[in-house]
Structures are given as structure tokens and as C-alpha cells.
Amino acid sequence: MINLLAETIHAIVEAHQYTQTVLSVRSRDGEYATSWEEFAKLAVANYDNGFGSAQIPSDLIIEFMDGTYLYRDEYDGSEAWEYSAPLPPLVRNPKPITKVVGRYWPDVQGLHNPEEWDENDR
């Protein structure tokens, strides 16, 4: 058993954030939302975060003022908060992705740079 509020505050601290920088607590689709203060009242509850069925909504996110957020992660019922940086903005005229499989490519740019290919990637 774990206390949801304590777990959440720990995740916020681990993310180098503060409860004062929480913009909202909401569903991923934005259809539901509450303030940090209201969430903190609701989260004073213990739940089983171990394996089994998830007890906390999987689409719950905590959004921070800098655009980063915590989201619920679940593996076979074992639940926790995970931190995510905001996505970089899409450039104005992005290059098309024309290949998504190659050998040992850590990024899309390298996969699309023929000068770096060996004979197995052609």
C-alpha cells in the first residue's frame, strides 16, 4: 500500500518541480481537470500500487507551468508516476520521414543521411 499524495509529492520532487508550479491536474484529453489544491485533498488515500489491476486512472497527468508533466505509467498493474519533458515544436516545413527501420540508428536524422549508411542499410 502507498499513499497517493505522498507518492505524487515524491514524484514532483524527483522531477525537480514544486507543487507551486503545478498548472493543472487533468485527464490526458483535457475533458476533466482540477487544481493542485483539490487534487491534494482527493489524493489523501492509500492504494495498492503493486501488480494487479490499476487503481489510479491511467490518463491522469499533472501539468507543470514549464510544459513538462507527470503521467501515470502501468506495467501489468504496477503503477507509478513518470516524468516527461514537453515535445519540441514541429518545425515549419519538416522533412518527410521516408525510412523507419535500419541498423543501429539512434535517431531519424541519421537514418535519413545516406553518407552514414553501410551496405546493409541501402
- Digit-by-digit pLDDT tens for the chain (122 residues) are 899 999 999 999 999 999 999 999 999 888 899 999 999 999 998 888 887 777 888 889 999 999 999 999 877 768 899 999 886 666 788 777 776 666 555 567 766 776 666 555 55
Instruction: Give the 3-state DSSP-derived string for 3-72, with helices as H, strands as E and coil as C.
Output: EHHHHHHHHHHHCCCCHHHEEEEEECCCCCEECHHHHHHHCCCEECCCCCCCCCCCCEEEEECCCCEEEE
Domain ranges of the chain: 2-84
Query: Is the pTM higher than 0.85?
Result: no
